[in-house]
Amino acid sequence: MENINSSDYFHDLDLFRTPSEMQSYFESKREEIISNKELNDLARLKTGRYKIFLEEFYLLYLFSRSKLVPIDAKVRVVIGNQSYDAIVQYSTGEIKRYEITEFIYGKSEYEDAVLINERGYSKMRIGDTRDLETKAMEYLEEVIRNANKKAIKNYERVSIIIVMNTHIHLDIWNLNTELFIRKAIDRIRQLPFNCNEVLLLIRNNDPIELIDSNIYKVL
């Protein structure tokens, strides 16, 4: 797996692209990764730029297909240490900066990825006796805790996109997603953000064409 360097494979990851070009790039890389076990294993581990591709580029791609980004605008992920993850450049020359944040159970996700790569399946967490609603509410608390980390920082002239995955935490268990989203919005609105605006982007199993119904303006 060391033979495929993520910086080489994603050497053009941070170029400016139109929304349609974002889709073409994402789908092309996705097909390559799915069809190649070595690439698939690296992506599952989120090694190097695979992490940026999955946790930033993909989310920016989803956002770029919304009505908030004109079809003639250009967007790109910003790699490196700065106070924002993405730029949207409009045909007028105007530029907007976005910080994209999503809470992920990183440790357990990585442990599962290693096991899947090694033996084809992850471990069963038999000792976890929490009911599904309790798990969902604990996830919400983590989302709010993560959002608060952004709220206490200075993001002047930057917009924040908070991402919440309802598919794996609610939808597949037939829990009340609409109520969950309303609770999240109410809680996020109570945080002391210093930024241009706050958006909530919902990750679920909807097709990309429905992205506008999954983005909420919070502040």
Would you give the DSSP letter of residue 82?
S
- Give the lowest-confidence range in 47-56, 130-139, 184-193, 210-219: 130-139
Question: With bands split at pLDDT 50, 70 and 90, how would you rate the model's confidence at 213?
Answer: very high
CA distance 94 to 73: 10
- Give the lowest-confidence range in 26-35, 39-48, 73-82: 39-48
CA distance 35 to 171: 28
Q: Domain residues of the chain, as ranges? A: 1-100, 130-219
Amino acid found at 129: T
Q: What is the pLDDT of residues 68-126, one digit of tens each?
A: 999 999 999 999 888 899 999 999 999 999 999 999 875 565 465 566 655 655 555 44
Number of H helices, E strands in the chain: 9, 8
Output the pLDDT for position 119. Answer: 64
Check whether 59 has a pLDDT greater than 80.
yes
Over the chain, what is the mean pLDDT? 88
3-state secondary structure 158-216: EEEEEEEEHHHHCHHHCCCHHHHHHHHHHHHHCCCCEECCEEEEEECCCCHHHHHHHEE
- Give the lowest-confidence range in 20-29, 126-135, 139-148, 172-181: 126-135
Mean pLDDT of 38-48: 84
Helix (H) or strand (E) holding 36: none
Mean pLDDT of 200-217: 95
- pTM (2 decimals)? 0.87
Output the pLDDT for position 110. Answer: 47
CA distance 54 to 71: 22
- Give the lowest-confidence range in 8-12, 24-28, 80-84, 119-123: 119-123
Would you give the DSSP letter of residue 6?
H
Nearest to 96, CA basis, from 127, 68, 65, 115: 68
Amino acid found at 157: R
Residue 147: CB atoms within 10 Å: 22
- Give the lowest-confidence range in 37-41, 81-85, 128-132, 191-195: 128-132
